[in-house]
A and B are shown apart, each in its own frame.
Chain A
Amino acid sequence: MSNPGGASISAEQLKARFVGTGNADMSKYEWMTNQHRDTYASHLAHYDQLSYMAVAENQSIGRMRLKLFDKMIQPCGPPPPTKDINRLAEK
């Protein structure tokens, strides 16, 4: 049947299915955070990379995995303060 909602629904669905997708209003911080998480996910998913890194850091593979998981929380540090025009005026 028809979908009276139009395109906006599909954008939401896209975001729901692929969390790393972006849009024209995405900030640098958000995008970089996604990149970092994708990078860690990629390391975690490829066992050879994981074991390589474990050797390089002289740690067990399990610890390395845990470390990468931990890094996924705020991989680029805390979010920058919102650049709200109203707030800037207060300063």
Chain B
Amino acid sequence: MISDNDSVTSNIVSKWDEDVSKSNVAGSRRKRWDDTPVVSSNASATPVVASGSATPAVNSSSKWDETPVTFSGMGGQETPAITSEKKTNRWAETPAPVLPGMGSQTPGLAKALSLEKEMDSRNRPWTDVALDAILPTEGYTIMRPPSSYVPLRTPGRKLLATPTPMSMTPQGFQMEIPVEQRQDASVQDIREAYDAGALPYIKPEDMQYFGRLMEDTDDEKLTKEEANERRIMSLLLKIKNGTPPQRKTAMRQITDRARSFGAGPLFNQILPLLMSPTLEDQERHLLVKVIDRVLYKLDDLVRPYVHRILAVIEPLLIDEDYYARVEGREIISNLAKAAGLATMIATMRPDIDSPDEYVRNTTSRAVAVVASALGVPALLPFLKAVCQSRKSWQARHTGIKIVQQIALLMGVAILPYLRELVEIVSHGLTDDMQKVRIITALTCAALAEAAHPYGIESFDSVIRPLWKGALEHHGKALAAFLKAIGYVIPLMEENYASHYTRLVMPILLREFHSPDEEMKRIVLKVIQQCVATAGVEPEYIRKEILPEFFRNFWIRRMALDRRNYKQVIETTEELANKVGSSDIITRIVDDLKDDSEPYRRMVMETIRKVLENLGAGDIDDRLEERLIDGILYAFQEQAVDASSSLGKESQIMLDGFGAVVVALGERCKPYLKQIAGTIKWRLNNKAASVRMQAADLVARVAVVMKACDEDQLMGHLGVVLYEYLGEEYPEVLGSILGALRAIVNVIGMTKMTPPIRDLLPRLTPILRNRHEKVQENCIDLVGRVADRGAEFVSAKEWMRICFELLEMLKAHKKAIRRAAVSTFGFIARAIGPQDVLHTLLNNLKVQDRQMRVCTTVAIAIVAETCGPFTVLPALMNEYRVPELNIQNGVLKAISFMFEYIGVMGKDYAYAVTPLLEDALMDRDPVHRQTGCAAVKHLALGVAGHGCEDALLHLLNFVWPNIFEESPHVIQAVFDAIQGLMVSLGPNVILQYTLQGLYHPARKVREVHWRIFNILYIYNSDALVAGFPMVEDEEENTYARTTLELFI
């Protein structure tokens, strides 16, 4: 061997490249037969480019045809949905380009293509670079090819591998450059491309944590610690950046081996990662999950690391991201459970009187989390000691703050300990330090808010100090005390509440003038709370509060700050609930014509809330006129929003207008002409948002128009909207469709103008629009027509719509898919199931799983609406196609069908039994899974209708599947068995189960006991009659003699 090798090396100088020179020699001897195909291969490229790339754009005759959709050039094979018609309108354009090879090909071709691509990449030749990157440097030698070896280089063979024209993209075909030949490819890229080492990609910013994994090391030279560290590192990398399966196994490994890795090495790596500034939300979530699992396993081993973990996790508690806060809480609570209360308290004790406010803040939140994890009672003695600390006011402050955080965190769950918690903090109200007094008042507020509406007796000890504090303090402290009083008053009984309201009111009225914004908000909030209590009389509010309130708070400046704006509206709403709508609306209605737009909005929103709560019964004729006048003015004077979407501002105006019209109802009749005029005028506006708002308004007022018998006006609006169907902006188009639907809904199919037979053909191309809002509104409208007025439209048109609907099944939004699926049912009812079914069955061949699932649901719905006998024969015939997706689709459709038809299934049970038999015996687990689902629905549907023989037969086919491992399959099998339990009775299943309960193999026993337990849980009483007779043994009598009694 060695000598051979040596001789070869001596002969040939270069190593791998030698064959090139050989092939040159071969090339000189090449026959002309070999040459020809090269030319022809060039030629074959030309037509492809001509047909693929330029054609659609060049040939398009008008600008309407300029769709971004890429045509692949072989129209005959495309799905009809895309090329069946020329696109005639701009709104029918699809905004997003469909990926080549996705939309424009039949699924079969796409599949073949992807297969071909995969084979290509698998069969690509190995290069030196790739081999060097993958194979270790030691232990391998590069062998020389035998000198007699001449590689086979016939271009004719290569021709066979020419990619098919179908794979042409408009840019022309490009071979993928193998990763090792790319300029910028690193060793890591190559390894990844060849799936070597199976480590996920390391992001550049993660190199500092995982970089060492890239170094090649010899496992034997590593010490045990180093090997451990590397192992943890690679597991963490897989969890952080790996694929879901990688992540899953890594997660399991790190959990299982947590104790052997040890807390130190684990947290030394996890904590820096968690602190990394570039951490994404998803990654943080995964790491939090790791800590969770690891903590659970490590249990008390984690104790020495509690402080370090807390130092990292506590900042999460005040993160601005809600999920970060939740995850921080979760870790701390698990940490507390693992480390125990004593360790947690010992660790956090020094931070409680830390001079740093930030540390105290985070610590108080962390202790609150610990309290909620380990139970408040366990922490009460500690809290009591901290709150009464003589040593430093910081400790008292933090202690009281912990109580506040506990209240915020646990909500009503504090009720059992409310008295203790209040008593712990009560002395803080008279503390020397103002800061402590403020936090105590705020804590009382938080406790009262959490306890609402219970627990006033627990606050007995603080009411007097709170009251005194409110009289004595000024500024910020007063605000805190007022807040506490505001939260305590709603807990009180009527007469006390009324008493305290009267007492506190002078202070509140005094503070109406306060320049402090925070104080204003608190005053407003307290007013809202006081007014809401039962004991406060409307007359008192009218006399004492309203004049001052409107003078001080209903001013333009209040509308400018977002929080003030909200609080004023809420308080006014509460006042209106007490004194009635007209009192409030009379005071503010003229402000609808105010110069300041934010102020008009504030008025509008208040009027909407008041009218929605109380209705318009209170409003007299004069006020009604002023109101309508005001809303029309405010609506017309809105500042134009330049964007095409509806902003929050215009939404408020729209909601307000709609609410007023709906509240007034038939009283609107005299004003409807004017309103419709405004709408028509604004539908013509240049700004898209204005048009959209106008269309949305039509949808709101349509019901009222009907109530006012303004059918003619509505018909007119319908025609106007119909003319605007050429709208360019999808958002606006969606609103116009929504408005049309609202009109159709109230006016009915027969009276609709334009007539349905004109309207629907206009909608068909719009169905092709890919914008979600357009799709949703359009499908709703079409579905409505199909449901109520299918006879106005020809069957041909409905079929056209069917094709468009198939595309809708791809929609992301569930509402759209659901609407599309039920529309199939309506159409099938209108034009008969045959054609619709044919379309749907064809659609089962597609790749996209979501499409297939939706299609099966549609088939089931068609079966339900048109009767299963119209669908089942074709469906069962389709099962004969030997293709996985189709057969599964058929099974799924049958499963859904039996779910929908319920008892009706008894007429079809025998018909489908052979098919289900076949499915349950199939090699493909999905067949069996779906078959089981069908059996379940069948069994549940026909329970008690005499199909037991068929079901028992099916049970014999279901039963062997109980040993399935895959979770989905086994779940389906158990579901089927449970379904059969209902229809066959538990004892039949019990007899099947008995055979395996004491089987020698544990795996067999486990499954059977699982089934037995299900039986027992649902039918324990019925099983009494079915238990087997067991012979007595030595001392034990197993005969159940009571069953043998007879008279």
* Residue ranges of A at the interface with B (Cβ–Cβ < 8 Å): 1-2, 4-5, 14, 18, 20-24, 26, 28-29, 31-32, 35-36, 38-40, 42-43, 45, 52-53, 55-57, 68, 76-78, 80
The smallest beta-carbon distance between A5 and chain B, in angstroms, is 7
B1017 cross-chain contacts in A, Cβ below 8 A: 14, 18, 21
Closest beta carbon of chain A to B251's beta carbon, Å:
11
- B161 touches A (CB below 8 Å): no
Instruction: Judge whether A80 and B1033 touch: CB under 8 Å.
Output: yes
The answer to whether B82 has its CB under 8 Å from any CB of chain A is no
Mark the stretch among B86-94, B616-624, B744-752, B1018-1026 that contacts chain A.
B1018-1026
Count how many chain B residues have C-beta atoms less than 8 Å from C-beta atoms of the other chain: 37
Write out the residue numbers on chain A whose beta carbons fall within 8 Å of the beta carbon of B149.
none
Q: Determine the distance from Cα of A39 to Cα of B1021 in the docked complex, in whole angstroms.
A: 8
Q: Contact at B1036–A42, with CB atoms within 8 Å?
A: no
Is B1043's CB within 8 Å of the partner chain A? yes
A contact residues around B723 at 8 Å (CB):
none
A15 vs B621: C-alpha distance when bound (angstroms): 70
**Pairwise interchain contact A24-B1009, C-beta atoms closer than 8 A:** yes
Please classify the interface of chain B as helix (H, G, I), strand (E, B), loop, or mixed, using the class held by over half of its residues: helix
Give chain B interface residues in 972-1025, CB to chain A under 8 Å.
Answer: 997-998, 1002, 1005-1006, 1009, 1012-1013, 1016-1017, 1020-1021, 1023-1024
Query: Which residue on chain A has the smallest CB distance to residue B1015?
Result: A21
Among residues of A, the one whose C-beta sits closest to the C-beta of B1005 is A24
**Measured between alpha carbons, how far is A62 from B1037 in the docked complex, in Å?**
25
B1046, A39: Cβ atoms closer than 8 Å: no
User: Are A32 and B1038 neighbours in the complex by a CB distance under 8 Å?
Assistant: yes
B234-268 vs A, CB cutoff 8 Å, 1 = contact: the mask equals 00000000000000000000010000000000000
Please indicate the chain B residues that have their CB under 8 angstroms from the CB of A78 in the complex: 1035-1036
Give A59 to B1017 CA distance when docked, in angstroms: 33
Q: How far is the CB of B971 from chain A (nearest CB, A)?
A: 14
Contact A39:B1024 (CB < 8 A) given known A21-B1016, A76-B1038, A80-B1035: yes
User: Which residues on A sit within 8 Å (CB–CB) of B255?
Assistant: 4
Are B1013 and A21 interface neighbours, CB within 8 A? Answer: yes
B1005: chain A residues at CB < 8 Å are 24
A14 touches B1013 (CB 8 A): yes
**Cα A52 to Cα B1045 with chains together (Å):** 9
CB nearest neighbor in B for A1: B330
Of the A-B pairs whose beta carbons lie under 8 Å apart in the complex, a sample of 24, sorted by A's number, is A2-B289, A4-B295, A4-B334, A18-B1013, A20-B1016, A21-B1012, A22-B997, A22-B1016, A24-B1005, A29-B1036, A31-B997, A38-B1023, A39-B1024, A39-B1040, A39-B1042, A40-B1042, A43-B1042, A53-B1042, A53-B1045, A68-B1042, A76-B1038, A80-B1033, A80-B1035, A80-B1036
Residues of chain A within 8 A of B1012, CB atoms compared: 21-22
Is residue B1027 contacting chain A, with contact meaning CB distance below 8 A? yes
A77–B785 Cα gap in the complex (Å)? 74
**Closest 9 pairs (CB-CB, A-B):** A4-B296, A24-B1005, A21-B1013, A56-B1045, A42-B1024, A77-B1036, A24-B1006, A76-B1036, A77-B1035
Partner of A35, one of B1006, B1027, B1033, B1037: B1027
Known pairs A14-B1013, A18-B1013, A28-B998; A36 contacts B1040 (CB<8 A): yes
Contact of B1047 among A14, A20, A31, A56 (CB under 8 A): A56
Extra A-B contacts (9), CB below 8 Å, given A14-B1017, A36-B1040: A2-B292, A2-B330, A4-B255, A18-B1013, A18-B1016, A23-B1006, A28-B998, A28-B1033, A42-B1021
| Chain B positions within 8 Å of A36 at CB level | 1040
Whole-angstrom distance between the Cβ of B1040 and the nearest chain A Cβ = 5
Q: A4 touching B1035 by the CB < 8 A rule?
A: no
Q: CA of A12 to CA of B232 in the docked complex: distance in angstroms?
A: 32
Who on chain B is nearest to A11 by CB? B1013
- Please determine whether A55 and B1047 come into contact, CB atoms closer than 8 angstroms: yes
Q: Which residue of A lies closest to B1022 (CB)?
A: A42
Q: Which of B166-193 contact A (CB under 8 A)?
A: none
Q: Are B1040 and A22 in contact (CB under 8 A)?
A: no
Which residues of chain B are within 8 angstroms of A56 by Cβ–Cβ distance?
1045-1047
- State in angstroms the CA–CA spacing of A35 and B1038 once bound together: 9
A29: nearest chain-B partner, CB-CB: B1036
How far, in whole Å, are A59 and B1036 apart by their CA atoms in the complex? 26
The answer for the CA separation of A5 and B337 in the assembled complex, in Å, is 13
